[in-house]
Chains A and B, each alone.
Chain A
Amino acid sequence: MKITTRPTVILLSLSLAAALTGCSEQAAGGGDSAAAGGCKPADVKLVGQVRNESNPYEASWLTGGDEFAKTVGLTQQRLTYGGDSTKQQEQISQLLAGDTTCLVMNVLPNGDSDTAAIVKGADTAGAYLVTQWNKPADLKPADYKTWISHITYNGVESGRQIGDALATAIGGQGGIIALQGVLDTAAAKDRFAGLQESLKKNPGVELLDQQTANFSRAEARTVTQTLLTKHGDKVKGIWTANDDMALGALEALQQAGRAGQVAVVGIDAVPDAVKAVQDGSMTATVSSDGTWQGGIGLAIGFCVATGKLAVKDLPAANRAFFAEQFLVTKENAADFAQPKTNPSDFECGNVFKRVAGALT
């Protein structure tokens, strides 16, 4: 028995080895063509990954991705990981275990610390990657071949923009209160720094109090209520680090019988906030244009994968950059009420049109 099985095993393993080498040779060949960016448009596989679809902003990402995919006759694979870092990594490694030659990924990393593993995985597998919002400062796309770009937004600037809008709305004079986000996040810190810059520019505006409401609508409501009783009629305006808190503050104002007497500003341009800006109950918000974000990551990847752009030709300012953001006020709110994409934004010559500054 033994004698007969051994040769079989050897034969089997030999043939397996042969098959395996065959496979890896094929894969290696595919990798070469990927580096040269010679994919046929129809072979490109588009993947958009965000935390969840129950958040209107992230849902608009995936919509944007779908719309881009339609313009090039493809479909986007929609992935959500429910804000769970482990799940995000699993999804990425599953993707990378498949055919990666013409894979394009537009990814929202869960947190700064999750980005490194995603980037390394994609680089080894030769998949094209665009990341947004979160990355550690010392991790740079310029050091990698297929991590094309990292896109983020300047929180200091958005904090200042709404701070200025608030100052104008209260006539440059009077007390305001500020609601901060989760205190140990970069977004909360930057946005609050922006408010402080704006306060320096507007000496008539006095910051009466600042509290955190952890980016949450419910907490913002309670904190606002408390601050309104503490400072009474001195409160002329409320600055909040995101729209959810702005909407919570609006509810608190309504319950205190002061709706319409206090100006409220936020950031993110979620649909309800844009509606509130439109009907005048909110003064301003800032939009990063989620549908554009969802489309642009795939568009950049698609252009590189099909050879219309080459990673090595891209200037440093296009590898990691702050994208343009928009102040939404009553005048232009209607444009943001129905988020839509402009197909020309996604043409290979235009994909870097919204670069507002290099991220260093």
Chain B
Amino acid sequence: MFAVLSPRFRSIENVQNMVDAAAVLAVVTCGITFVLLMGSIDLSAAGVMGASALTVSLLVANNRNDNDLGLLGIGVAVLLGCAFGCLSGLALVLLKVPSFMATLGVSAVGLGVATLMFAGVQPNISDAMLKGWAIERFLGLSYLTWIAATCVLVGWLLQRYTRLGRYAFAIGGAEEVLALSGVRVKPYKVAVFAVAGAFYGLAGVMVTSQLGAGLVQAGSGYDFSAITAAVVGGTLLTGGRGGVLHSAVGVLLVVVLTNGLVQIGVSPYWQGGVEGLIVVAAVAAAVIPQRRRNQVVK
């Protein structure tokens, strides 16, 4: 539809632009998909990304201190994301905090940690490699896009070929059955949240590369967009259905939507509302086949 309305939309540059714009969202969505598959929800992306963005920007070459750890700094940021994910998972299985509350709490903790590290002066990165990720291109696409593609691939392999991925499906489908058949479910739940956290950590690093600076708000809005993308792609909020590839398609749809609205020149005063309507319509269309089987909507 957008392709008919705007000739620019069809151009190769715009396709490149859209795929590049999808990179960070794709990584976040990859992480959140695993949690959704289990039938839990994860709202911690914003906080975890903020904390990891600040961590990485303070560990690679920057204007605040003399650190220049390069790849190691990036690794630490991803591990930090992983640790936050663990925290959510532990709160869920040990303290029995519902996942939306546990992850919301962890998000607040992440934002708090990020604000502490921010300390009034924005860290701008000067690390050539990290900045290059957003600027340099390989086969017409930025490095970030290739990283995102790798993440989707890794996510898919995890989901398809590891016990973790298969159990995530099973937990979402019928946790009791799995528990009764002698599987210890709890460690897998924690592991799923940890994997998701690592993806958010990487996403935080990617945003930092794009913006050239560590921002506390690096992840704001990504939690909602990622859940939207996953659901639009066909991953059910009730768990057990969908997957990383579904979600990746959802990401592309969401990005095409936002890009298309700008390209055909919808007034900014209308865009927010129009976008929301289209998302609700798309989700409604996606669940029509399930409506008979699944009559309750929560």
Contacts and interface: CB of A to CB of B under 8 A. Distances in A.
A180 B272 CA distance: 14
Nearest to A220: B211
B58 to A, nearest CB: 14
B122 interface: yes
A226 B268 contact: no
A218 B6 CA distance: 25
A223 to B, nearest CB: 7
Nearest to B134: A255
Interface in A205-249: 209-212, 216-218, 221-223, 225-227, 229-230, 232, 247-248
A19 to B, nearest CB: 43
Contacts of B220: 216, 218
A185 interface: no
B124 A272 contact: yes
Interface in B9-23: 11, 13-14, 17, 20-21
Interface string B90-102: 0000000000000
A255 B211 contact: no
A254 B209 CA distance: 12
B55 to A, nearest CB: 15
Nearest to B255: A222
B285 to A, nearest CB: 26
A56 B262 contact: no
A195 to B, nearest CB: 14
A67 interface: no
Contact of B218 (A56, A209, A218, A226): A218
A317 interface: no
Nearest to B219: A218
A59 interface: yes
Interface stretch (B112-120, B162-170, B183-191, B245-253): B112-120
A216 B21 contact: no
B82 interface: no
A230 B14 contact: yes
B263 A230 contact: yes
B215 A218 contact: yes
Given A218-B215, A230-B262, A211 B268 contact: yes
A54 interface: yes
B126 interface: no
B265 interface: yes
Interface string A45-66: 0000000111010010000000
A217 B218 CA distance: 9
Contacts of B124: 272
A53 B122 CA distance: 11
Interface in B37-64: none
B88 to A, nearest CB: 23
Contact of A52 (B8, B115, B268): B115
Contact of B207 (A209, A218, A226): A218
Interface in B207-246: 207, 210-213, 215-218, 220
Interface residues of B, number: 36
Contact of A254 (B14, B135, B259, B268): B135
B142 interface: yes
B14 A229 contact: yes
A334 interface: no
A251 B21 contact: no
B269 interface: yes
Contact of A54 (B118, B207, B265): B118
B122 A56 contact: yes
A316 interface: no
B161 to A, nearest CB: 34
B50 to A, nearest CB: 11
Given A221-B210, A251-B210, A229 B118 contact: no
A338 B130 CA distance: 29
A221 B115 CA distance: 22
A186 interface: no
A254 B121 CA distance: 23
A251 B144 CA distance: 14
B120 A56 contact: yes
A116 interface: no
A226 B215 contact: no
B142 A255 contact: yes
A66 to B, nearest CB: 13
A183 interface: yes
Contacts of B142: 255
Contact of A226 (B17, B211, B217): B17
A56 B121 contact: yes
A183 B268 contact: yes
Nearest to B115: A54
Contact of A230 (B8, B134, B258): B8
B212 A251 contact: yes
Given A210-B268, A229-B17, A255-B135, A223 B122 contact: no
Interface string B197-213: 00000000001001111
A210 B268 CA distance: 7
B17 A225 contact: yes
B215 A217 contact: yes
12 contacts: A54-B118, A209-B262, A210-B268, A216-B217, A223-B262, A226-B262, A227-B262, A229-B8, A230-B8, A255-B20, A255-B142, A271-B122
Given A56-B120, A209-B262, A248-B211, 19 more contacts: A59-B120, A183-B268, A183-B269, A211-B268, A216-B217, A217-B215, A218-B218, A221-B211, A222-B21, A225-B21, A226-B14, A226-B17, A226-B21, A226-B259, A229-B11, A229-B13, A232-B13, A255-B134, A255-B142
Interface of B: 6, 8, 11, 13-14, 17, 20-21, 115, 118-122, 124, 134-135, 142, 207, 210-213, 215-218, 220, 258-259, 262-263, 265, 268-269, 271
Which 3 pairs, one residue from A and one from B, show the smallest C-beta to C-beta distance?
A59-B120, A212-B268, A54-B118
